């Protein structure tokens, strides 16, 4: 067998092995496991979440919640705004009747659950963005953003 034929056979075998290794389950398992390890750690917050719902009549409700550490978490500023998808490409802020069309809640406690609601004027796809800024003696303020999209 000539040297050229051996090199071509080796290249073919390496190509086949590479293709099969791309489809094996091991890399996906490793990536999923790595994602579990990379959970963010916050200074002043145990958790923060946002849940939205839209009723059959078009009332959009937002529930924001966070849970900090008693004796550590001192204050939170939660900013919430609603956007509507326009022309399938762009997001525009929905007029909610407040300054800058956003709700700003300041809470002086280590935990909170509360929300807001608004009657939507038309059907479409809506996105709610919530920024939590949570302060305390645990270090710099935690900045957490939650976003959820629903169609009405």
Q: pLDDT tens for residues 70-124?
A: 999 999 999 999 999 999 889 999 999 999 999 999 999 999 999 999 999 999 9
pTM: 0.73
- C-beta atoms surrounding 42 within 10 Å: 22
Token pair for 31: 């990536």
Q: Which helix (H) or strand (E) holds 106?
A: strand 103-107
pLDDT above 70: residue 68 = yes
Residues 81/93, Cβ–Cβ less than 8 Å: yes
Cα-Cα-Cα-Cα torsion 17, 22, 26, 28, nearest 10 degrees, comes to: 180
pLDDT above 70: residue 16 = no
Residues 66/132, Cβ–Cβ less than 8 Å: yes
More confident position, 23 or 49: 49
Token pair for 18: 């590479």
């Amino acid at each position: 067998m000539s040297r050229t034929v051996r090199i071509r056979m080796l290249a073919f075998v390496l190509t086949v092995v590479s293709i099969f290794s791309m489809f094996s389950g091991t890399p996906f398992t490793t990536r999923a496991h790595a994602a579990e390890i990379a959970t963010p750690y916050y200074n002043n917050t145990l958790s923060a979440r946002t849940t939205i719902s839209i009723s059959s009549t078009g009332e959009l409700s937002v529930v924001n919640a966070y849970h900090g550490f008693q004796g550590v978490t001192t204050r939170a500023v939660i900013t919430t705004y609603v956007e509507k998808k326009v022309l399938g490409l762009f997001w525009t802020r929905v007029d909610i009747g407040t300054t800058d069309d956003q709700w700003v809640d300041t809470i002086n406690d280590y935990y909170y659950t509360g929300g807001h609601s608004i009657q939507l004027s038309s059907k479409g796809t809506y996105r709610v963005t919530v920024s939590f800024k949570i302060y305390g003696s645990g270090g710099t303020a935690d900045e957490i953003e939650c976003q959820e999209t629903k169609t009405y």
